[in-house]
Amino acid sequence: MPLEYTRLITTPFSDQVRTYAVRDAMLYALSVGLGSDPLDPRQLAYVYERNLRAFPSMAHVLGMEIDWLFDPANGIDLAHMLHIESGLTQVRPLPAEGSVKSRMAIKEILDRGVEKGAVLSFERSLRDAKTDDLLAIVTGKFLLRANGGFGGQTGRALPPAEIPEREPDFLCELPTLPQSALLYRLNNDPNPLHADPEVARQAGFSRPILHGACTYAVACHAFIRTITGYDGAKLRRFDVRFSAPVLPGDTIRTAFWKLDDNRYAFTAHAIERDVLVLTNGLAEHC
């Protein structure tokens, strides 16, 4: 079935309200590696209920709406879909508990041709359900490898952030656990690709892989640890392109290049396998 461009681009998304508790905020932070040093009070601020803070990248799992991806009437070939970019603009820190409302919007679908697929860009606003204050804007792109050639616009996407051709200014290595994917999927992201070895083999992987959103969060952890001293409220922007999957248990080394007073380019490698897993990253703090 071909991609139903008009149906997708005009989908009338409604607000998704998500209420979460301090337990959810702590589980999220633990699942992306916070608390690895239980004696570090800066990490405890995200995993211990006393004066708890929500980790900024938790915005990616609050109020997600994915039914449209699985609706066969939209014509998306899920078996050949890749999550290729992810971004976050933090306007206000997430509360440690509360209710948020999320509104999805499909911003653009570019047709790269039958052989190259299509690129779908989305944006999701996250607001406080009580005050309507804007908290964050989550962005992302999917490469629909089998959905190109539907006759849509072939406009050129904005180029990703460039990485300077010099040694990085900062490096941060953070481990993932063999059970990291099993932990992360408890944040309302239950795709069996990240838990079931047989499903992973059918998809061409030797074992279940880590969620891209978890890899993203580990790099975000590296930025907040290295650049802001674990003050997540200082994060303003964190955008990146995915280049290869991470295997649970990999150690992720994130490299940062300072561009100006508050902006950094970054990449990330799975160091045991010497694989570039994140590229063209751009991070900003206040």
For residue 252 the two structure tokens come to: 């992720």
| 163 in Cβ contact with 36 (< 8 Å) | no
Chain Cα centroid distance, residue 144: 17
| Tokens describing residue 43 | 């990490």
Q: What φ, ψ does residue 212 adopt, rounded to 5°?
A: -60, -35
The one catalytic residue in 71, 169, 189, 231 is 189
Please say if 194 is a catalytic residue: yes
Report which residue type is found at 11: T
Q: Single out the catalytic residue among 24, 111, 194, 269.
A: 194
Q: 274 an active-site residue? A: no
Residue 284: name the closest of 252, 236, 215 by CA. 236
Cβ atoms of residues 3 and 76 within 8 Å = yes
User: Which position has the token pair 């239950």?
Assistant: 190
CA pair distance 91, 203, nearest whole angstrom: 37
Dihedral angle sign, alpha carbons of residues 203, 204, 206, 208: negative
Q: Residue 141 burial by CB count (10 A; 0-12/13-18/19+): exposed, middle or buried?
A: buried
With CA atoms as reference, report the closest residue to 121 among 168, 153, 166. Answer: 153
Question: Which residues lie across from 141 on neighbouring strands?
Answer: 85, 121
Q: Which residues are catalytic?
A: 189, 194
